[in-house]
């Protein structure tokens, strides 16, 4: 869990060290992104950026040494790219969500920064619902700091890339987390074997940017797709036959 964030000004020596460390990323991040990362240092969320652990179409994820306001040794920074055009395909998850009705469709920076804010808020809902998901720590503009899921400094693998020893238990855990989210009036909207980390024997849902509240016009369709996707994967990979329609009825009770 995160502890109270300190707002005390850092000593000049610490500030110099942080600025020197951030120079590693010069030419990769724009100035506004650099300032958002600096805010993470200044608020003691992270003390050092280590290395990139995941590259995606929309964001890169970096391993970081946690600062004094975070209990765990490591954290991650998810940095959404400001130049990407793939967010055009994500508008159906944002427009229609009453939390973000005032977003300007022609402003890419605003859309991406709102997506970051949206993922933080959705992870907060997941945390309150006691869902297996990373704990969100802080966000600023297009940078999201959250819990590192892994062992030592090694990130947990995605479900797709490993063979689980008890697939039925894993599937049941995923469905139970979908149910908990639904009871908290949230639908993940993009559950698949690529968006689940296996931390030991426990599946963790990730990538919550597209999650929508139940009042979203497509929430029920997204829920049905989530359940269909995950049951289809376990049926093809492990031969486990679960009735998706029956699971949906149990989730919606």
Catalytic residues: 190, 207
In terms of Cα–Cα distance, which of 138, 116, 125, 137 is closest to 213?
125
Q: Radius of gyration of the chain from Cα atoms?
A: 19
Distance CA 61, CA 42 (A): 20
Distance CA 151, CA 128 (A): 24
Distance CA 136, CA 50 (A): 19
User: Are residues 174 and 226 in contact, defined by beta-carbon separation less than 8 angstroms?
Assistant: no
CA contacts within 13 A on the Cβ side of 96: 14
Question: DSSP letter at 84?
Answer: -
In terms of Cα–Cα distance, which of 51, 52, 79, 46 is closest to 65?
46
């Amino acid at each position: 869990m995160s502890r109270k964030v300190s707002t005390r000004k850092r000593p000049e020596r610490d500030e110099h060290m942080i600025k020197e460390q951030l120079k590693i990323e010069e030419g990769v991040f724009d100035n506004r992104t650099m300032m958002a990362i600096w805010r993470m240092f200044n608020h003691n969320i992270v003390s050092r950026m280590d290395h990139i652990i995941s590259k995606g179409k929309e964001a890169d994820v970096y391993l970081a040494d946690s600062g004094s306001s975070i209990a765990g040794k490591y954290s991650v920074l998810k940095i959404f790219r400001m130049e990407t055009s793939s967010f055009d395909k994500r508008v159906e998850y944002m427009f229609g969500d009453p939390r973000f009705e005032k977003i300007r469709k022609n402003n890419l920076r605003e859309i991406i920064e709102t997506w970051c804010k949206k993922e933080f808020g959705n992870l907060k809902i997941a945390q309150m619902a006691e869902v297996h998901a990373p704990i969100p720590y802080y966000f600023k503009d297009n940078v999201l700091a959250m819990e590192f899921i892994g062992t030592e400094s090694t990130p947990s693998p995605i479900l797709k890339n490993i063979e689980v020893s008890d697939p039925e238990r894993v599937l049941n855990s995923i469905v139970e987390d979908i149910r908990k989210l639904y009871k908290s009036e949230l639908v993940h909207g993009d559950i698949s074997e690529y968006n689940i980390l296996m931390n030991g024997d426990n599946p963790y849902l990730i990538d919550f940017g597209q999650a929508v509240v139940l009042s979203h016009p497509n929430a029920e369709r997204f829920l049905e797709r989530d359940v269909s996707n995950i049951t289809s994967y376990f049926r093809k990979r492990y031969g486990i036959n679960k009735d998706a329609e029956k699971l949906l009825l149990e989730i919606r009770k």
